[in-house]
């Protein structure tokens, strides 16, 4: 089959690779119909992280089940299914407790030795624990569902980690796909006021479409002053960048006693200086989103028409054009690429 392979910084190629096959009785094979390029793929593309050349890439996909192992009970060939970015067993204490990202037998699609989402097919370990069955494509298009595999679940995690409820004034730092999805999530959780903070006018306009009450464009001191003048300090911040400056801004704009929910992978965060938040009782919570645990509720919301994150996908390409998607996202000419296969 054809699948994306990371060959080094700035170099992702679609190549011929072996077709996936069932290995364990709990596996399923999914023929991918739709995939996406995500922020962490882009970090890899830019040379951050430990991905070795030759590894697969991509972890956001949906498609049709073609084959299942003998022990698989909840999906069958022909089912249209969505996978979260990590597989999980569904039965360990962490999975039962809703923290599927800490599954004792879990893993991330495209990790070494496993298929990535950007390819024609994927072997899905723990199919029963991992996959959710979707309505048919003519009922709900892929673009509304695909973001649930990662960015929408992660935005939801940011909002939950920040404790957003109907009384909350929340700032969302970051206008990438995760930040925009955090706006959607905060709105869905009933936030009283949502301030979207980012660099890009076009993305901030999308934040308004998604439910932001206010937008603040820029960075550093000026941005901070704008948020403070709008709100006098927010109850909660969703940190959707993963960089030191975003954390510093998050703490500075949070009211004493407030909460910072963080989901940006902390690639460029030196550390949290507790002496700056001790007297102010600001809490920090978040991390890797347990996407699988959130899928049933988010999927229902999409099916009911209450949630539609499809607008984060602003570029559509075929699999053979995948490299163009990376290049355009790297140049910030696209927010998030949808790959049709």
Residues at the interface with a second copy (CB under 8 A): 94, 97, 99, 101-102, 161, 256-257, 259, 262, 265-266, 269-275, 277-288, 290
Taking the least distance from each CB to a second copy, the nearer of 71 and 273 is 273
Cβ neighbours of 232 (radius 10 Å): 10
Taking the least distance from each CB to a second copy, the nearer of 100 and 130 is 100
Nearest by Cα to 309 from 150, 157, 194: 150
3-state secondary structure of 248: helix
Taking the least distance from each CB to a second copy, the nearer of 210 and 251 is 251
**Distance in angstroms (rounded) separating the CA atoms of residues 16 and 14:** 7
**Least distance to a second copy, CB of residue 14, Å:** 29
**Least distance to a second copy, CB of residue 292, Å:** 14
Taking the least distance from each CB to a second copy, the nearer of 5 and 265 is 265
Taking the least distance from each CB to a second copy, the nearer of 277 and 303 is 277
Taking the least distance from each CB to a second copy, the nearer of 196 and 265 is 265
**Distance in angstroms (rounded) separating the CA atoms of residues 152 and 133:** 17
Taking the least distance from each CB to a second copy, the nearer of 139 and 279 is 279
Dihedral of the alpha carbons of 68, 70, 72, 78, in degrees to the nearest 10: 30
The first and second tokens of residue 114, run together, are: 């496993």
Helix (H) or strand (E) holding 65: strand 61-68
**Least distance to a second copy, CB of residue 317, Å:** 30
**Distance in angstroms (rounded) separating the CA atoms of residues 112 and 119:** 15
**Least distance to a second copy, CB of residue 110, Å:** 16
Torsion 145-118-262-204 (CA) sign:
negative
**CA within 13 Å, CB half, 156:** 22
Taking the least distance from each CB to a second copy, the nearer of 86 and 140 is 86
DSSP 170-214: EEEE--SHHHHHHHHHHHHTT-SEEEEEES-HHHHHHHHHHT-SE
**Least distance to a second copy, CB of residue 54, Å:** 24
**Distance in angstroms (rounded) separating the CA atoms of residues 36 and 325:** 9
Q: Name beta bridge partners: 172.
A: 196, 238
Taking the least distance from each CB to a second copy, the nearer of 11 and 281 is 281
Cβ neighbours of 290 (radius 10 Å): 25
**Least distance to a second copy, CB of residue 176, Å:** 17
**Least distance to a second copy, CB of residue 273, Å:** 5
> Which residues neighbour 196 within 8 Å (Cβ) at sequence distance 6 or greater?
171, 172, 175, 179, 180, 183, 204, 207, 208, 212, 214, 215, 216
**Least distance to a second copy, CB of residue 164, Å:** 15
**Least distance to a second copy, CB of residue 103, Å:** 10
């Amino acid at each position: 089959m054809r699948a994306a392979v990371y060959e080094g910084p700035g170099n992702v190629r679609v190549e011929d690779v072996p077709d996936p096959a069932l290995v364990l009785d709990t596996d399923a094979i999914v023929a991918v119909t739709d995939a996406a390029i995500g922020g962490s793929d882009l970090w890899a593309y830019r040379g951050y992280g430990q991905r070795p050349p030759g590894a697969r890439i991509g972890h956001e996909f949906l498609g049709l089940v073609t084959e299942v192992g003998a022990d698989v009970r909840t999906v069958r060939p022909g089912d249209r299914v969505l996978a979260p970015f990590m597989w999980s067993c569904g039965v360990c204490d962490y999975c039962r407790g809703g923290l599927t990202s800490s599954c004792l037998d879990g893993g991330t699609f495209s990790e070494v030795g496993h298929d990535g989402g950007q390819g024609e097919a994927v072997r899905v370990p723990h199919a029963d624990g991992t996959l959710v069955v979707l309505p048919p494509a003519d009922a709900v298009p892929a673009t509304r569902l695909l973001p649930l595999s990662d960015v929408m679940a992660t935005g939801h995690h940011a909002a939950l980690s920040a404790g957003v409820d109907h009384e909350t004034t929340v700032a969302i730092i970051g206008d990438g796909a995760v930040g925009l999805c955090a706006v959607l999530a905060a709105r869905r959780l009933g936030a009283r006021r949502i301030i979207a903070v980012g660099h890009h006018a076009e993305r901030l306009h999308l934040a308004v479409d998604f439910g932001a009450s206010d937008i603040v464009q820029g960075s550093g001191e000026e941005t901070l002053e704008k948020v403070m003048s709008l709100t006098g300090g927010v109850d909660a911040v969703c940190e959707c960048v993963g960089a030191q400056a975003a954390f510093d801004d998050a703490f500075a704009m949070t009211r004493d006693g407030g909460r910072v929910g963080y989901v940006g992978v902390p690639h460029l965060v030196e550390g949290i200086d507790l002496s700056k938040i001790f007297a102010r009782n600001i809490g920090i919570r978040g991390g890797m989103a347990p996407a699988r645990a959130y899928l049933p509720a988010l999927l229902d919301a999409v099916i009911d028409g209450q949630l539609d994150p499809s607008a984060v996908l602003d570029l559509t390409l075929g699999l053979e054009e995948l490299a163009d998607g990376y290049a355009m996202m790297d140049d910030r000419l696209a927010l998030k690429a949808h790959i049709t296969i």
